[in-house]
């Protein structure tokens, strides 16, 4: 008996983009840095172990943007607190 599967034809399922990475980028672009950092980390870890998913670059971009936003908030808060005294 001959077995048949999709790999015999050279057909692969299309790779899909990780949803957590997309959500992380959306959050980072809208200024929600905490969810951007959380979803970015989750998306990066998930795409590392899955051959059928892409989006690690999107997750890294969201992590970088989230870190920049967090730094800006902390620096701004420090400046405001110092200027009040």
- In 3-85 the beta strands, taken as DSSP E runs, fall at 16-17, 53-54
Residue 17 confidence (pLDDT): 95
Q: Please name the residues in contact with 7: beta carbons below 8 A apart, sequence gap of 6 or more.
A: none
pLDDT of residue 76: 97
> Count of CB atoms within 10 A of residue 11's CB?
8
Q: Summarize the chain as % helix, strand, coil (round to 5).
A: 70, 5, 25
> Would you write out the chain's pLDDT as a tens digit for each of its 85 residues?
666 655 566 677 788 999 999 999 999 999 999 999 999 999 999 998 888 899 999 999 999 999 999 999 999 999 999 999 7
Gap between the Cα atoms of 81 and 57, Å rounded: 36
Model pLDDT, residue 13: 79
Can you give the pLDDT at residue 7? 59
- Domain spans in the chain, listed from the N-terminal domain onward: 16-84
The whole-number pLDDT of residue 1 equals 62
């Amino acid at each position: 008996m001959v077995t048949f599967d999709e790999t015999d034809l050279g057909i692969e399922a299309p790779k899909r983009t990780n949803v957590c990475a997309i959500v992380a980028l959306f959050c980072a672009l809208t200024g929600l840095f905490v969810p951007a950092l959380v979803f970015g980390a989750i998306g990066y870890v998930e795409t590392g172990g899955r051959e059928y998913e892409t989006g690690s670059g999107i997750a890294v971009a969201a992590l970088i943007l989230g870190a920049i936003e967090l730094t800006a908030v902390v620096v701004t808060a420090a400046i405001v607190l110092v200027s009040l005294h």
